[in-house]
Amino acid sequence: MKKRPGLASTLAIYRRELLSYVTTPTAYVFVAVFLFSIGLFTFQVGGLFETRRADLSAFFAFHPWIFMVFLPAVSMRLWAEESRSGAIELLMTLPAPTWSLVVGKFLAAWTVAAAALLMTLPLWITINILGSPDNAAIFTAYLASLMMAGAYLAIGSMMSALTPAQIVAFVLSVLVSFLLTALGLPLVLDFFSGIVGGGVAEVLARFSIMHHFDAAQRGVVEFRSVFYFVSLIALCLGYTMLAVDARRGG
C-alpha cells in the first residue's frame, strides 16, 4: 500500500479532528465556559470598566490562568479518547507518519483555541468605541496569547498521549501547566531563592510561561519569547510522538 505523504495526512487528520470538534457539543460548552469566565474575570476581577482605561490589560492578565484550565479540557481527548473508544487501533494502522498524526491533532485543537480567542473580538471593538487604545499592542497581545495557547495545548497533547484516561490527562496537564505558569510567581521564586539562591531562581523564572507572556502583553515581541513558545510546543509534541510511537511499536 502506498504511504501517504506526511503533509497530506496531517491535513487529513486535521480535518477529521476539527470536524469531530465542530460536531460534538462538548467543544461548544468548553468555548462558552471559556468566554464566560474570561469576560467575568475581565470585568468583575480586573475591573475593566471601573479603571476607565482604554486598554485590554485587565483582559489579557487572566489568559494564562484561564487557559491553564480550559485548554487541558480541550486537549485531554486528543489521544485519551481514541484509546477509550478503540479508534486508536485504527489510527495506528494508518499509513501516515506519527508526526503527521500528532501535528494534525494539535493543529485542530489549536484552531479551536484560536476560534475561542476570535470570539472575544467584540471586546476589542468595544474598547475602540469607548476610547482610543493602542491597537498594535493589542494585536501583539492576541498573537502572544495564541502562542501561549499553543504551549498549553501541546502540554495537554503530551499528557493525553501518556495516559489512556481523559480525566488523568486533564489533571496532569493542569498540574504541569500550573507549574510552568507559576514558576514566575514571587511565591515560587521566593521558595527557589531560599534553596538555590536568587541567581538560579531568576534563570528558572525565564522558563515561566507568564514571564514570556508579560512583554508581549505590553506590545513588545521578543524573539526569545517566541523561541520559548515554539520550543516548548516542539518539546511537548516531541514527547507526544515518543508516547504514540511507543504504542504503535507495542
Q: Which residues contact another protein by CB under 8 A?
A: 23-25, 27-29, 31-33, 35-36, 39-40, 42-43, 49, 52-55, 119-120, 122-123, 126-127, 129-134, 136-137, 139-140, 185-186, 189-190, 193-194, 197-199, 201-203, 206-207, 215, 218-224, 227-228, 231-232, 234-235, 238-239, 242, 245-246, 249
Using the minimum distance from each CB to another protein, give the nearer residue, 8 or 196.
Answer: 196
Evaluate whether 80 touches 169 at the Cβ level (below 8 Å): yes
Q: Which of 179, 24, 156 is nearest to 79 (CA)?
A: 156
Using the minimum distance from each CB to another protein, give the nearer residue, 2 or 199.
Answer: 199
Nearest approach in angstroms of CB 188 to another protein is 10
Using the minimum distance from each CB to another protein, give the nearer residue, 5 or 122.
Answer: 122
Using the minimum distance from each CB to another protein, give the nearer residue, 146 or 215.
Answer: 215
Nearest approach in angstroms of CB 192 to another protein is 9
| Cα gap 99→231, rounded to integer Å | 16
Q: Is 179 exposed, middle or buried (0-12, 13-18, 19+ CB in 10 A)?
A: middle
Residue 146 half-sphere exposure, CB side, CA atoms within 13 Å? 17
Evaluate whether 182 touches 208 at the Cβ level (below 8 Å): yes
